[in-house]
Structure 1
Amino acid sequence: MKFFILYFQRHLSDTDLLSCCTPCGTGCEGGFPLEAWRYVIINGICTGGRYRQKGVCKPYTFHPCDYHENQTYYGDCPEHIWQTPKCEKSCQRGYPVPFKKDKYYGLSVYDVPSDEKAIRREIMKFGPVQANYFVFEDFQYYKNGIYEHTEGDFVGGHSIKIIGWGVENGTNYWLIANSWNTDWGENGYFRMVRGKNDCLLESMVYAGLMMV
């Protein structure tokens, strides 16, 4: 058995996880990131990609929609939460690899210390990390720049991917990949102030290693 930790490049199926991981939570209504990692370690996860993408086992189930203000690229979003897809133990038609042989498994999952330097070391050594943070009303109006919570009530929790860091005009920031389409924020990304544990971002960081 070989471990390829640093250069795992496959796109894995969010649909496979969303539809089949019962312990992960309530499907499209939210869930628990650590349970998702544990599911991948025990059950594996197949390849995935964008909506209707070919050449992968399970592409994304839902079409992109125009949720954000003044955006016209996508079609309209429904007025309700999407229904969680049925768990299918098979790949899309025409994909040549059997479902069970298309599975990739996690090796481990662990907490990253709540320390800005430790988080940067983890990213430098192994790549992007997963993080949760508290969302407040002012985040919903984010367009660009470095976000730092200043006002508004608590809205809920959110899980994202920290991919790097930087400094702009003397302000340290994290570079973060969001999941709200590329027409949101800075081409689908946003920056959050670094080193202040803003919105408890630096207190809820996880990392995992994949096995091939």
Structure 2
Amino acid sequence: MPKQEFIEYFNKQNYSWKITEYEESDKFFGGGINLTNFKKGLDVETYDLEIVKDLPANFDARRKWSQCRSIKEIYDQGDCSSGFAFGVANTVSDRTCIHKGDHVHLSEQDFECMKKDVCFGGDPYQAFEFWIREGLVTRNCKPYNVRELKKNQCKEQCERNTIKYSEDKHYGLKVIEVPNDLDQIKAELFHQGPVQASFVLYQDFRDYREGIYEQKYGKYLGEQSVRVIGYGVYRDTQYWLVANSWGRNWGENGYVKVKMSQNIKFEEYMLTGRPK
């Protein structure tokens, strides 16, 4: 069946979401994450029943922490499997604003000094550890540049001479494993801010246009790392509110609602951190 016919057929079904055809869908790269190596046994912070019971049905971090500009940002990783870098850098940028009042956009580019082949993917846990151990500079120091990333060089210097690399570093205190429990994840989001999630990526996710995504078709493409900024419920379907890193022309202006508890392991591989 031609792609356009399939799109029309799919969108006529009584599904919770719609698809479309993107001109450059082959450039929507996964993060090259190996979920089998996911770090377990980290610090886990849980919330008691009273706190969980008082959570709202819908939550959006962009509204609660409206002063934090980073939470409202959508980025584009381009033709590079650097989703892990965006999932982590964007999450810790938000957390730095929420917990320290420091408005920063931390640099995905700086992970070139963690591993040379950033465009071949990476380990979110190691990225959080790099933030803790080595710190991350801001995008003002090292803006995202795919061409430079593909040179596989670590540049410990800022593009602008007015900023010193070592003085622009922002550090983390610890990395936290978010429990695989819907209420606990909601409580972490509501009380502490966005978290990073890694999940199994299929072809239909790249075709997502709007609605609440539930995996329906397509081949396995790898894994992707994203930033979860909230949650909600629509017609009895619970979902996560997610900021992806494929630009604003994809999905709902760069965002996607992901149905909870489906077969893409979305809740199983969540990490976050506390800034220093």
Tell me which residue corresponds to 1:20: 113
Residue type matched to 1:88 in 2?
Answer: K
- Superposed, 1:92-171 pairs within 5 Å as 92-94=159-161, 96-171=162-237
Any idea what the Cα deviations from partners look like across 1:114-173, whole Å, max 9, x if unmatched?
001111111112100000000112212111110011222221111000000111222111
| Residue 57 (structure 1) aligned to one of 122, 127, 141 | 141
Tell me which residue corresponds to 1:66: none
| Residue 29 (structure 1) aligned to one of 90, 108, 120 | 120
Tell me which residue corresponds to 1:83: 150
Instruction: Quote how far apart the aligned CAs of 1:198 are.
Output: 3.8
Give the number of the structure whose residues are more often helix, by fraction.
2
The separation in 2 between residues aligned to 1:148 and 1:197, in whole angstroms, is 7
The separation in 2 between residues aligned to 1:26 and 1:90, in whole angstroms, is 19
| Residue 10 (structure 1) aligned to one of 104, 108, 117 | 104
The separation in 2 between residues aligned to 1:172 and 1:8, in whole angstroms, is 32
- Superposed, 1:155-194 pairs within 5 Å as 155-194=221-260
Query: Is the Cα contact below 8 Å between 1:173 and 1:193 reproduced in 2?
Result: yes
Give the number of the structure whose residues are more often strand, by fraction.
1
Gaps of 5+ in 2: 1-95
Cα separation, partners in 2 of 1:200 and 1:8, compared to 1, 3 Å: farther
Cα separation, partners in 2 of 1:198 and 1:165, compared to 1, 3 Å: farther
The separation in 1 between residues aligned to 2:175 and 2:102, in whole angstroms, is 15
The separation in 2 between residues aligned to 1:108 and 1:4, in whole angstroms, is 16
Query: Is the Cα contact below 8 Å between 2:117 and 2:150 reproduced in 1?
Result: no
Gaps of 5+ in 1: 49-55, 64-81
TM (normalized to structure 2)?
0.61
Identity of aligned residues (%): 37
Give runs of ≥4 in structure 1 deviating > 6 Å: none
Determine which structure has greater relative contact order: mean sequence separation of CA pairs < 8 Å that are 6+ residues apart, divided by chain length. Answer: 2
SS in structure 2 at match of 1:144: strand
The separation in 1 between residues aligned to 2:219 and 2:259, in whole angstroms, is 19
The separation in 2 between residues aligned to 1:136 and 1:204, in whole angstroms, is 17
Tell me which residue corresponds to 1:76: none
SS in structure 2 at match of 1:16: helix
Residue type matched to 1:127 in 2?
Answer: G
